[in-house]
Amino acid sequence: MQARQPVAKAVSAAPLPSWRGSGSMSKSPRSPVRPPIKARTLSELGDADEASYPFLQESFPATLGALGLEHRRPSFSAWSDAVGQHDVLGSFTDDEPSDDDDEPATNARLVAPSKFGRPAEDSGWQPEERAVRDAALARLDAGAAAHLRANDLLFLRLVRGFRLLEDRAAATADMCAWVADRRLVWDAARLLPAVGDDLRFHEAVWPTWVAGRDGFGHLVVLERLGCIDFDALLKLPLDLILRRRVQALDGLQRELARPLEGYGRVYKCVFLVDVAGASFGTLMRSETTALAKAYARLTERMYADAVWKNVVVNAPAVARGAWRVVERLLDDETKDLISFVHAPPGAADTPGKLRAAGVPRAACPVYLGGAANPVLLADLLARGDGGADLVPPPEPRPDAARLRRFSSHDDDERSRPPGFRDDDEAPPRRGDGAAGGLLNIKVVLALFLAFDVFVFWYKSRKRWQADEL
């Protein structure tokens, strides 16, 4: 295949990360003198006072810099003890209806609310977004502009995903140029339906399942790391893996684009990631971390503003403890995007924990105590017309009276799930590093930092014990 010219007029498309040689996380030089961290458990480390935390700035400056935290010294006394969880169905049942709620609603639709000042998914192009769109189109060449015009929802997500970047029009144009270039190279318009080796990849190498929908109609997507054939996966060219994952994620977007009776438009997914069965050694291989970084870069650009929630279950206790340390450094919007849930199969409280994290029982797999029998995404990708009839439906909607109150967009606090705020309550914060699609990469970087924190604590604890002996 001949090399294509960059599609942006001003900025060329950035190359994909190399497969070899970029696998391991960069480590900063170790400080020659550092007082030992005398914490016997990660929980103790998480409860330490601010004076015990300079080691984060000393040991992981590159990762903290990528997260926008290199100069941040948070007040530990202001930290919350846990990440707030949103029960997406609870807002419909927590209070009694008022007397004027007895009349049935007509043509009421359940609309996913705005979070942190972002436009709701059901809303169309806003005036400011149209201005950014037109400015970005003026910076793109004809091929990129035509591709984005033909994929209006993709274009809308990109404009919304990077809404907080400095010099928004120019930065959005650069991101759109990169996305359009990759999609044109991969001929994304012809990726579906999946056939042949592509289909076998989604069946046996990197299988993904659709478990159902949450209370707002978002697809709940199940990823089981223990079911990924890493031996076969890491033998494939990186570019081929990324193209096939675009095939999978585009398939999810195709299913989301189908109108769902009684619900507003949604284009985001809830990702339920089950870590059980994954080999720690395999996940730490240089090839695996190189793939993770390239995949994170792809998704934070091409699928900006396409994630409603990441729910990680069955992660090792040390990972959850390390995350408890790292999450306290993150902004609320990034923390809202990910939840760690200890949900062992067979435990009586597992369905309740997952429901509180945003995965209702109807979309929770049977093996985790739910009622869903997930559909293999490959079965949906193989169908030229999609497979909306195969996707399990959402849980029963709330009664029409409460639905009318929720979808009326009034100022009644009872009509909004806890933690959600209107645009006036959460004005955009430019330059804070938590913009749009960057949330995806910030979550990945935060997870890398959590792993580094655990390794550092473990080595410090060993040195401390050796000194005592």
Mean pLDDT of 132-144: 96
How does the average pLDDT of the chain come out, rounded?
Answer: 74
158-212 pLDDT tens trace: 999 988 888 899 999 999 999 999 999 999 999 999 999 999 999 999 999 999 9
Residue at 314: amino acid letter:
N
Tell me the torsion sign for CA atoms 300, 302, 305, 310: negative
For residues 293 and 153, the model is more confident at 153
HSE-CB for 230 with a 13 A CA cutoff: 18
Nearest to 215 by CA among 116, 115, 87: 87
pTM above 0.75, yes or no: no
Q: Alpha carbon of 404 to those of 104, 153, 408: distances in Å?
A: 8, 27, 6
pLDDT more than 70, % of the chain: 61
Q: Give the start-to-end residue ranges of the domains of the chain.
A: 193-451
Nearest to 180 by CA among 13, 20, 350: 13
pLDDT at 44: 53
446-457 pLDDT tens trace: 665 666 666 565
CATH fourth-level superfamily of 193-451: CRAL-TRIO lipid binding domain (3.40.525.10)
250-288 pLDDT tens trace: 999 999 998 888 899 999 999 999 999 988 888 888 899
pLDDT at 363: 95
61-86 pLDDT tens trace: 665 655 555 554 443 333 333 323 33
